[in-house]
């Protein structure tokens, strides 16, 4: 399975990606985690990315797509993956399409996690990561609506929307059921509630 998980910060896509990565036997690739690891190791990429992470802004597309290209070239990603937090812009989605076309493969589905903004902000404040100060959280929400929401239209034919309010296990079950139930074409006509 080749999946993309999209959702606003705090929607729980990282938790879902970790759970479903074991359930489906494919690696969980989080661009946020990759950037944070580069930052901890003080690599040149990490040093370049740092100021964007701290401001809740997006790292430039070319840097991000290059990092993903290298990760997808690793052997464990050959037969499938869950991309968590990528693509986050339409140019990144174009970049991913080119990468996948180059390998002659396609995405199976794009899962969108939805939740009201007050739920998202409360979850992130409770989590307390380095970039979870309230002003940075609000900025990450703004950036999501501005830059990432258009990616949903890009993937209209592959989109599966899931309500992300509730227990993690229950949401993971719902994602698995939806992935099994829905044929690839025309998925977008059968969203639940939105
Ligand atoms: P996340 O862990 O997904 O919440 O991402 C944390 C931060 O990493 C974001 O606020 C961005 O600064 C950066 N980041 C993660 N994924 C991307 C991406 N696809 N494009 C650009 N920046 C990203």
Burial class (CB in 10 A: 0-12, 13-18, 19+), 88: buried
pLDDT over 70 at 184, yes or no: no
Task: Quote the DSSP letter at residue 109.
Answer: E
Expressed in angstroms and rounded, the spacing between residue 85 Cα and the centre of ligand 1 is 6
Q: Read off the pLDDT of residues 31-83 as tens digits, 9 standing for 90 and up.
A: 999 999 999 999 999 999 999 999 999 999 999 999 999 999 999 999 999 99
pLDDT over 80 at 129, yes or no: yes
Contact between 85 and 55 (Cβ < 8 Å) = no
C-alpha dihedral, 32 to 37 to 43 to 46, nearest 10°: 30
The residue segments making up the domain with residue 12 are: 2-191
Residues lining ligand 1, Cβ inside 6 A: 9, 31-32, 35, 52-53, 56-59, 64, 85-86, 88, 92, 140
- pLDDT (0 to 100) of residue 183: 57
**Alpha carbon distance 38, 43 (integer Å):** 5
Expressed in angstroms and rounded, the spacing between residue 77 Cα and the centre of ligand 1 is 20
The CATH number that applies at residue 88 is 3.40.50.300
Q: What is the number of domains present in the chain?
A: 1
pLDDT over 70 at 186, yes or no: no
- pLDDT (0 to 100) of residue 83: 98
């Amino acid at each position: 399975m080749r999946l993309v998980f999209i959702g606003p910060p705090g929607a729980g896509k990282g938790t879902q990606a970790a759970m479903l990565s074991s359930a489906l036997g494919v690696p969980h690739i989080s661009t946020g985690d990759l950037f944070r690891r580069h930052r901890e190791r003080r690599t040149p990429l990490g040093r370049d990315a740092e100021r964007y992470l701290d401001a809740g802004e997006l790292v430039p597309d070319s840097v991000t797509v290059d990092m993903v290209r290298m990760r997808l070239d690793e052997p464990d990603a050959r037969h499938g993956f869950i991309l968590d937090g990528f693509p986050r812009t339409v140019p990144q989605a174009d970049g991913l399409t080119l990468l996948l076309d180059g390998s002659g493969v396609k995405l199976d589905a794009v899962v969108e996690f939805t939740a009201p903004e007050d739920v998202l902000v409360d979850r992130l404040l409770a989590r307390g990561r380095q970039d979870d100060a309230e002003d940075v959280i609000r900025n990450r929400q703004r950036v999501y609506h501005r830059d990432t929401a258009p990616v949903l239209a890009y993937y209209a034919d592959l989109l599966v929307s899931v309500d992300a309010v509730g227990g993690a296990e229950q949401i993971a079950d719902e994602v698995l059921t939806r992935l099994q139930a829905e044929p690839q074409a025309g998925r977008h006509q059968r969203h639940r509630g939105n």
